[in-house]
């Protein structure tokens, strides 16, 4: 991952060396001029006299000023230059770090001019610029250098080891070279510490403690994360035998620092077996042969990335989100500031990051909320996956899974206390946590497939971050607010709980099972829908948190955070799906449009002047319900309004069935007579509303919730097959059940343009819907067809009768029966024609 640096900080480092060279030349010129001419006596300024004659003031100023300000003070005047050169404590704590941004931040906008190189292709500082600065300032001016921070810079590892560490090994206690790509663990850090490790072994073998002939190593803490040859992914024990692997120097660094008593920011995860998801994923991806033993390395400063103070150098935000390294610390460019005696927040400039309370409160004395056992330090993924964002419950690797992890008990406790602990990095462990199999503690466990991994009893609300193999967390939304997921574990009962799980006014007035009982989902709750719309709007200053929420089983089963989809009954998150305006609700348009329409209302259409017409649920009516009530009351006259207010209380309920509400309105409008036109005889439900003299209540839908149509990044939930129809006129969503209860029109226009029941009535009035016209034309065509068929039948009947009588006439002639005269034949023929 390429380092994106702060251009302002990079320019500072690039200019330090050139400033030093120019200042040295200028001093030589001024000295030559002073020697050639008579020296002019210059009076010192008040500032120069105060800081050079009052040591406590100068020391306080140095502790509260970043390294950048100290260097600028050094270049203020020739008198201060000579003074600070001879004042060694001024260069006691130096920090030249550059900012390594979070992966969730968007990259800065880069302007590349024609003929210039892209700043991304250059290093953070010019080659050897920082090396010259260290050799010019750190070595000559700081004989008592105690802390040096060079994070994300282009410092050379050879210069760092041979010059700085070699000359200041008796005083330098803290060194941070995180992200320095030119500093190698394999060729610089580990060989340097190996010399002291060998000397330590010799001294321990001789039982002399430390040799007085060798100079002691004062180093107490070493930060080397993201250096060259630093392994950030899990590795097998067999890979340590390969010298060309980068896991060997990382492993050596941890063991050497432990031997020498140096705190390092690289450690091994103490979560046992496959309960560490990084260890499990590594084994499942590679399937190593034999007994798998996986070492999971992680950054111990992953919460703050070794950054102290706010990243935004503007006004400090007032919202406390658990990132104590930003809100409870005073710093500049990640460098700690202050005397530590009070005033500014923080513990002063003298303490490194791992000793500050903003870090130790997340690591030390963390106990499981279920069994009260002390939880040792573990990797980033284990810390987040076993911590509930809702109730802030933290569980150990045994209680967080469906089956416990039982350690093997040692035979002799005294021998264990006397012998050195083989798993010093996993306190309390008697079996190597790197082993992928849980220890067999009972016969039932042995017979129950010991190779299978247990199930984690935590669930993500809707979206979940992407966990990389290197231990980092990537969240789709590029926003710094999502970094609050790193603030774990936070204690319970101190206000860090999620808003929906804390005791606020919403939970005090919110009815129980307002969103439906998960065991018995009810999707027609009036109170639940009204409360949901109020919660959808929320306070005006409420911002939607894009941070994913990991919930324990108890919080996941509660009804505070979710609603249910009507189709698949899967839980839908209120914070991200509903407030994020992703859900679909039957009877409503897209939630973004609905929220904008509700916010633009001035409240003039509400029924505040009709208190008896308001429901008794204790919540205000949603905007759509108010419009329905207005449409009903506007159809009554002033005299009829007072007589029918009592009957109007029922139709305003959002989930009232359309047929029942129609019957109620027809009972309230008995004085009106219905028309008996052909349109009223139609079988289509919309014809009842078209020719009715009384305007029926508007269709509101069942107001059920459905899964989002489009998934966002990180949403790995199973796809839902819910299908909603969208009205082409008003863009209202209509579920399949409402379509079945209100079948659409089958005219030529409505077949290609679906219309909700409300728009179908309106389009019938203005003639856009072709149903009445097409039904009339269809009736006319049928009548004409029937008439033509009737005429054909009559013509055929008349022709048949004529042919029958003509046949009788000619039959009589042909037979020439005797005794029949011509007059008789003529009479027969005339009678037949008649």
CA distance 528 to 515: 5
Can you give 338-386 as a three-state secondary structure string?
Answer: CCCCCCCCCCCCCCCHHHCHHHHCCCCCCECCCCCCECCCCCHHHHHHC
pLDDT of residue 362: 93
Residue 263: its pLDDT value, please?
A: 97
Does residue 776 register a pLDDT over 70?
Answer: yes
Q: Is the pLDDT of residue 367 over 70?
A: yes
pLDDT confidence bin for 342, thresholds 50/70/90 = confident
Q: Are 769 and 745 in contact (CB under 8 A)?
A: yes
**Can you give the pTM of this predicted structure?**
0.74
Model confidence at 32: pLDDT above 50? no
pLDDT digits (tens, 9 = 90+) for 785-818: 889 899 989 989 888 888 888 888 788 787 765 5
Strands 550-552 and 562-564: what pairing? unpaired
Whether omega before 489 lies within 30 degrees of 0, making that bond cis, reads: yes
Q: Is 60 helix (H, G, I), strand (E, B) or coil?
A: helix
Instruction: Report helix, strand or coil for 789.
Output: helix
What does the alpha-carbon distance between residue 770 and residue 685 come to, in Å, rounded to a whole number?
15
Residue in the structure block whose two tokens are 């037949």: 832
User: Is residue 528 predicted with pLDDT exceeding 60?
Assistant: no
Q: What is the pLDDT of residues 401-438, one digit of tens each?
A: 999 988 665 544 444 444 567 889 998 888 899 988 88
Q: Are 129 and 16 in contact (CB under 8 A)?
A: yes
| Among the ranges given (269-273, 284-288, 475-479), the one the predictor scored with the smallest mean pLDDT | 475-479
Specify the 3-state DSSP secondary structure of 263: strand
Q: DSSP letters of 495-520?
A: S-S-GGGS--HHHHHSPTTTT-BTTB
Indicate the pairing of strand 174-176 with strand 147-149. Answer: parallel
Residue 569 tokens, joined: 């009954």
Q: Which residue has the higher pLDDT, 208 or 322?
A: 322
Segment 601-659, tens digit of pLDDT = 544 343 333 333 333 333 333 333 333 333 333 333 344 433 433 333 333 333 333 33
Is residue 666 scored above 50 in pLDDT?
no
Average pLDDT, the chain: 74
b/e per residue 751-772 (b: at least 16 CB within 10 A): eebbbbbbbbbbbbeeebbbbb
C-alpha to C-alpha distance for 171 and 193, rounded to whole angstroms: 16
* Segment 216-254, tens digit of pLDDT: 799 999 999 999 999 999 999 888 888 788 899 999 999
What is the pLDDT at residue 316? 55
CB half-sphere exposure, 449, CA atoms < 13 A: 3
Tell me what pLDDT residue 73 has: 92
β-strand pairing of 571-573 with 473-474:
unpaired
pLDDT reading at 452 higher than 90: no
Structure confidence at residue 759 (pLDDT): 85
List of residues 6+ apart from 210 with CB closer than 8 A: 203, 216
Please report which confidence band the pLDDT of residue 551 belongs to, taking 50, 70 and 90 as the band edges.
very high
pLDDT, tens digit, 9 for 90 and up, residues 565-582: 988 888 998 888 888 888
């Amino acid at each position: 991952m390429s380092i994106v640096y702060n251009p302002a900080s990079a320019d500072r480092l690039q200019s330090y060396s050139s400033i030093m060279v120019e200042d040295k030349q200028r001093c030589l010129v001024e000295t030559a001029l002073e020697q050639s001419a008579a020296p002019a006596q210059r009076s010192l300024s008040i500032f120069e006299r105060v800081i050079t004659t009052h040591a406590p003031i100068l020391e306080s100023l140095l502790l509260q000023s970043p390294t950048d300000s100290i260097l600028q003070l050094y270049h203020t005047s020739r008198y201060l230059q000579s003074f600070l050169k001879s004042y060694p404590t001024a260069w006691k704590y130096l920090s030249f770090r550059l900012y390594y941004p979070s992966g969730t931040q968007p990259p800065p906008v880069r302007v590349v001019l024609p003929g210039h190189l892209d700043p991304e292709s250059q290093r953070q500082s010019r080659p050897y610029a920082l090396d010259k600065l260290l050799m010019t300032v750190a070595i000559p001016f700081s004989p008592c250098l105690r802390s040096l921070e060079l994070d994300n810079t282009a410092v050379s590892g050879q210069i760092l080891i041979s010059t700085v560490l070699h000359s200041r090994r008796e005083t330098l206690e803290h060194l941070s070279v995180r992200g320095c790509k030119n500093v190698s663990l394999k060729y610089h850090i580990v060989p340097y510490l190996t010399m002291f490790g060998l000397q330590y072994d010799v001294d321990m073998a001789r039982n002399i403690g430390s040799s007085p002939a060798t100079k002691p190593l004062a180093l107490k803490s070493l930060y080397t994360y993201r250096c060259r040859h630093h392994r950030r992914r899990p590795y097998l024990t067999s890979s340590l035998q390969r010298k060309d692997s980068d896991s060997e120097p990382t492993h050596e660094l941890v063991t050497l620092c432990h031997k020498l008593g140096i705190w390092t920011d690289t450690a091994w995860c103490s979560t046992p077996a496959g309960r560490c998801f990084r260890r499990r994923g590594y084994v499942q991806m590679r399937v190593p042969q034999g007994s798998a033993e996986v070492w999971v390395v992680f950054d111990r400063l992953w919460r703050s990335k070794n950054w102290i103070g706010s990243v935004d150098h503007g006004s400090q935000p007032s919202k406390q989100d658990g990132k104590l390294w930003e809100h409870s610390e005073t710093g500049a460019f990640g460098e700690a500031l202050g005397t530590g005696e009070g005033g500014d927040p923080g513990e002063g400039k003298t303490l490194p990051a791992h000793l500050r309370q903003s870090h130790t409160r997340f690591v030390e004395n963390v106990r499981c909320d279920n069994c009260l056992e002390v939880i040792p330090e573990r990797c980033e993924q284990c810390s987040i996956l076993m911590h509930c964002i809702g109730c802030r419950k933290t569980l150990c690797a045994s209680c967080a899974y469906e089956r416990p992890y039982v350690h093997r008990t040692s035979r002799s406790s005294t021998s264990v206390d006397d012998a050195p602990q083989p798993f010093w990095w996993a306190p309390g462990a008697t079996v190597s946590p790197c082993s992928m199999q849980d220890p067999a503690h009972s016969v039932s466990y042995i017979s129950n497939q010991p190779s299978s991994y247990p199930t984690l009893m935590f669930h993500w609300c809707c979206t979940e971050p992407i966990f990389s193999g290197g231990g980092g967390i990537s969240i789709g939304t590029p926003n710094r607010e999502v970094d609050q997921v790193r603030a774990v574990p936070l204690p319970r009962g101190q206000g860090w709980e999620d808003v929906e799980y804390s005791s606020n006014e919403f939970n005090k007035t919110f009815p129980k099972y307002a969103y439906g009982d998960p065991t018995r989902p009810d999707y027609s709750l009036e109170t639940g829908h009204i409360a949901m719309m109020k919660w959808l709007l929320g306070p005006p200053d409420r911002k939607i948190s894009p941070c994913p929420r990991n919930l324990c089983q108890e919080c996941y089963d509660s009804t505070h955070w979710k609603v249910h989809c009507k189709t698949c009954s899967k839980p839908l998150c209120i914070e991200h799906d509903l407030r994020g305006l992703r859900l679909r609700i039957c009877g409503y348009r897209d939630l973004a449009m609905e929220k904008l329409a509700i916010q633009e209302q001035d409240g003039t259409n509400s029924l505040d002047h009709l208190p008896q017409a308001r429901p008794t649920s204790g919540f205000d009516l949603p905007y759509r319900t108010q419009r329905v009530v207005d449409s009903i009351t506007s159809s009554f006259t002033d005299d009829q309004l007072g007589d029918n207010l009592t009957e109007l209380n029922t139709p305003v309920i959002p989930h009232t069935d359309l047929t029942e509400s129609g019957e109620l309105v027809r009972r309230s409008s008995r004085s009106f007579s219905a028309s008996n036109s052909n349109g009223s005889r139609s079988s289509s439900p919309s014809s009842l509303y078209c020719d009715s003299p009384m305007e029926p209540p508007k269709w509101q839908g069942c107001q059920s919730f459905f899964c989002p149509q489009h998934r966002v990044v990180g949403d790995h939930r199973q796809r839902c097959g819910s299908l909603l129809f969208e009205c082409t006129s008003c863009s209202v969503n209509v579920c399949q059940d409402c379509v079945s209860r209100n079948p659409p029109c089958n005219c030529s226009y409505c077949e290609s343009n679906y219309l909700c029941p409300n728009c179908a009535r309106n389009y019938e009035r203005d003639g856009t819907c072709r149903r009445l016209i097409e039904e009339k034309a269809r009736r006319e065509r049928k009548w004409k067809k029937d008439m033509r068929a009737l005429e054909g039948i009559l013509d055929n009947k008349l022709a048949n009768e004529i042919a029958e009588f003509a046949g009788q006439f000619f039959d009589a002639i042909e037979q020439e029966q005797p005794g029949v005269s011509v007059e008789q034949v003529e009479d027969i023929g005339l009678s037949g024609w008649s």
